[in-house]
Structure 1
């Protein structure tokens, strides 16, 4: 399969639609204690009820799981867990529970047995649960408290993943994921999880769609969904960028990276991978050019950039963003400065970021990068886990007309949700 990108404003697919056949202590976390009815408990309950209004601003209570006629039958777990998916919510909470439920419904129809859905309803301050709760989404897998799923999918980005990094046994998690061939998907703030997993668990992951951010949209992106299906099922994939570059290049190494803000924040920590001779991918959103350069300078001064063979820039979604001090100082100015400083080729135009149409591709896997005859470049990926299409019906994820989408969700899709059409941000 070859995916061809014309440029950042015009996307051209060159593949047919792919139709798949039908170090946290080992302790329990108590979320709620149920007590026998007694006079003492009755009085305590009354006091708790009186103070509930004060607590509501900090934490929302999970709502009961109400089954409706439109709720699909939960897929039966296969013998080798080949269709199991566990949601992890390491960062921000999802404002709309119904949006998360719509995403889970779509994935269930596609054949996934989706677990840990209680994470949809968790909230603590700005996060999708306390640090202990969010860490447990992954740590429970690492210590064997729950079965290792075939897929670990992030809920959404935001902020908060850095706070749980010391609470997860990444070495154990990586080993269990390798044994199962687990695919972990995410981007944005989830980059912190992906970097820690690569640094300490020696396990790759996927830059790809997340449950709330993509699969919960009223109308999913056809481009993103096709790429998710294709690149999750095939053991070898390629991405071609036709934007004209300033370099002729050929390099082979581990392609890694993710969100620039998270990368620069972890520089020098034990959770930053030490990749020599690698190909570094970076993306970000809503940052002024000087801030992008400052983060790149952090990676340069910490020695990260000098160890790379190439730097690949995704879509930074600059839009109308200009340097408030000097509007002539643009992202291109930053690119020229860093290329001159590092002596490392900086390539642009890779179709990933906080954008609607994005490719799914592995982070921490082997990659071959080379220039193409038309002045662009191509990256071939290998040595990463894949889904087994024989136990899934991934073609059902392909977007349908809006009217059909409404019927699918019983006309309860969060179309009025102001965040439904915006990309997940840091």
Structure 2
């Protein structure tokens, strides 16, 4: 009986050639959208858990996340990863690294790699990931890689070292395992991972009327800025850079943005997209009137690049799912913002319904 990998090789041979070539070079300007990632076969419903960062302290919450995914028809593997704890981390550096590198020893790749949670620690793994073996396998199989927050370090490194895209989207602990799971988040997760040409819209009025295209990339601002000067930050020119963060005072956000500006990264982009920064009650310690709006205004004075706001993603309850490292088009106006994504891996909808994910909601 043929393995899934053999079947994929037959069906995706032409696309795989282009993808394997891309795996050895950094991303630059986007190419025209192609059908490189058709809908995958029905039989693979495996989600492999990764715990690259902080520990997941509540056993009940961990189990709730697994239960919900199983209700939706997924086979959840590598569960032991989310039970580990070493200092503040979900296991030692070697254990967390092994979760990634052992994938290259498999015959068939999973449908999805799902991050357990964020926190801190993923950056410690970057030098020892086996990119040369892992990246071509992930791309050939069309494996979806899902997470955000500290997991941004893994996502950016895979993109920089192997041209492997991913998804900024819900994680096991805080989203699938959380109390009062968000119907909006789950519906967006389903649609983004099963629908070609996914469209995200925001009704936030934009400061400029503009349109364009590029590789949509980025993630957590703190993590991204920490990788400046390293080989793990993608070299993307003419891209659509997305940023979000949590728990940072306005001046700290500006300092990180200034770091990207001084490094020339912001100037290289076609447009910059700001998600949610979860400011809540955070007030600048020196000037209560210095807000996130002040930071954005300063950045707009410095840059000719359009800065667009209102992307519904970040450390928030209701979040969309965003393909990262794939082509996208945008349109902005006083009526809002629209992003259309293309050329990312999608999978069958069989068994994956909002009703199943919300069953026995806490």
What TM-score range do you get, normalising by the shorter chain? 0.7 to 0.9
* Residue 337 of structure 1: how far off its partner (Å): 1.0
Q: Aligned residue for 2:67?
A: 105
Map Cα deviations across residues 325-364 of structure 1 (whole Å, 9 max, x no partner). Answer: 1111111111111121122111111100000000011011
The question of whether the paired residues in 1 share the 8 Å contact of 2:186 and 2:354 is answered with no
Q: Aligned residue for 2:345?
A: 385
Local SS of the residue matching 1:152:
strand
Distance verdict in 2 for CA 1:229–1:295, change over 3 Å: same
Q: Distance in 2 between matches of 1:99 and 1:85?
A: 17
* Residue 174 of structure 1: how far off its partner (Å): 2.0
Mean Cα deviation higher: 123-132 or 163-172: 163-172
1:217 aligns with 2:178: yes
The question of whether the paired residues in 1 share the 8 Å contact of 2:41 and 2:348 is answered with no
Which has more radius of gyration? 1
* Residue 397 of structure 1: how far off its partner (Å): 3.5
* Residue 201 of structure 1: how far off its partner (Å): 1.5
* Residue 169 of structure 1: how far off its partner (Å): 1.5
Structure 2: segments with no counterpart, 5+ residues: 1-39
What are the equivalent positions in structure 2 for 1:58-137 lying under 5 Å apart? 82-137=44-99
Aligned length: 323
Q: Distance in 1 between matches of 2:123 and 2:275?
A: 22
1:344 aligns with 2:292: no
1:241 aligns with 2:184: no
The question of whether the paired residues in 1 share the 8 Å contact of 2:190 and 2:352 is answered with no
Q: Distance in 1 between matches of 2:264 and 2:133?
A: 28
What are the equivalent positions in structure 2 for 1:286-301 lying under 5 Å apart? 286-301=247-262
* Residue 79 of structure 1: how far off its partner (Å): 8.5
Q: Distance in 2 between matches of 1:110 and 1:324?
A: 46
Q: Distance in 1 between matches of 2:102 and 2:69?
A: 22
* Residue 103 of structure 1: how far off its partner (Å): 1.0
Q: Aligned residue for 1:270?
A: 231
The question of whether the paired residues in 2 share the 8 Å contact of 1:192 and 1:262 is answered with yes
* Residue 108 of structure 1: how far off its partner (Å): 1.3
Local SS of the residue matching 1:156:
coil
* Residue 145 of structure 1: how far off its partner (Å): 4.5
The question of whether the paired residues in 2 share the 8 Å contact of 1:225 and 1:397 is answered with no
Q: Aligned residue for 1:332?
A: 293
Q: Aligned residue for 2:166?
A: 205
Q: Distance in 2 between matches of 1:397 and 1:307?
A: 43
* Residue 121 of structure 1: how far off its partner (Å): 1.3
Q: Aligned residue for 2:32?
A: none
Map Cα deviations across residues 367-390 of structure 1 (whole Å, 9 max, x no partner). Answer: 001124x43111110010012123
* Alignment root-mean-square deviation, CA: 1.6
